[in-house]
Copies of this chain bind each other. A is one copy, B any other.
Amino acid sequence: MKKESPEEKRRRLIMLAKASVSQAYSTGEHSVMQAIGSYNESERIRNLLHEKLEEWYGIYFPELKLSNQLSYARFVAEFGMNKKSIEMERLERLLGEASKDVLSRAGTSIGREPTEKEFEMLRSLANAELQMDELQQGLDRYLDAATKELMPNIVYLIDYKIAAELLAKAGSLTRLANMPAGTIQLLGAEKALFKHIKFHSKPPKYGVLYKLPQINTAPKGDRGRMARVYATKISIAARADAYSKNFIAKKLKEQLDKALKRHHK
């Protein structure tokens, strides 16, 4: 075999490095981590836009109260002008039950009407909020499908968005699989853990896992142990998702439910 020149060697090594980078990004896991980040960001942004909308439209219709923020945005986009002459039927299609109350408040409102141009801005703002909601829903559907493929065992045990967050905190599926249960239990509680070590505050009992409704609705004294039970089973599920690729989650779920019940006694 001919000996490699330094230049040839350099090229070969660069190609190898490139291939290994491509390899690292070839699974869908980086996409899932990006998607959960964007999902959380879009929720935050939708809230920011809503705040601005309600602050501004409040000038024209301060009496309007709707518990659902998206209904509020849709109301502004559709009925934000000439509130004293809203057709009951059209409003009912949008708001259902609440429409009678809104209509009577509109009739006696002290707010002036927005000008054409002001209304144009309000409608743009309302539509921006609705578009942000659509983005968020799209990301949600994507996460649902992508996590099922990437980590079928984990998402059989816990909500797929919480699974995606655990993955993002861990950095990769292999890393998550290699973590001891105690570390998984505290993923997302890094700040509290740091405070505990540095200032001897109370140690955290859970991080991301606190978002599980099963945990955050449980009696306070049970939560730590429950988080530990979840973390133990998630750790096993992660190893199956990362290495063996076997689907073992049905059995894990049974064990999980049993272990959780034991704690309740």
Contacts and interface: CB of A to CB of B under 8 A. Distances in A.
Interface of A: 18-19, 21-22, 25-26, 28, 30-31, 34-35, 37-38, 41-42, 45, 48-49, 52, 55-56, 59, 110-112, 114-115, 117-118, 120-121, 124-125, 128, 131-132, 134-135, 138-139, 142, 145-146
Nearest to A138: B124
A26 B30 CA distance: 52
B59 A52 contact: no
Contacts of A48: 41, 45
Nearest to A117: B142
Contacts of A42: 128
Given A128-B135, A135-B124, A59 B31 contact: yes
Nearest to A42: B128
6 contacts: A26-B112, A30-B59, A37-B52, A41-B49, A125-B135, A131-B131
Nearest to A114: B31
Contacts of A21: 110
B26 A55 contact: no
A110 B18 contact: yes
A31 B55 CA distance: 10
A114 B27 CA distance: 10
Given A25-B59, A38-B125, A117 B135 contact: no
B52 A41 contact: yes
A120 B49 CA distance: 24
A112 B38 contact: no
A134 B117 CA distance: 15
B146 A117 contact: yes
B118 A25 contact: no
Contacts of A52: 34, 37-38, 41
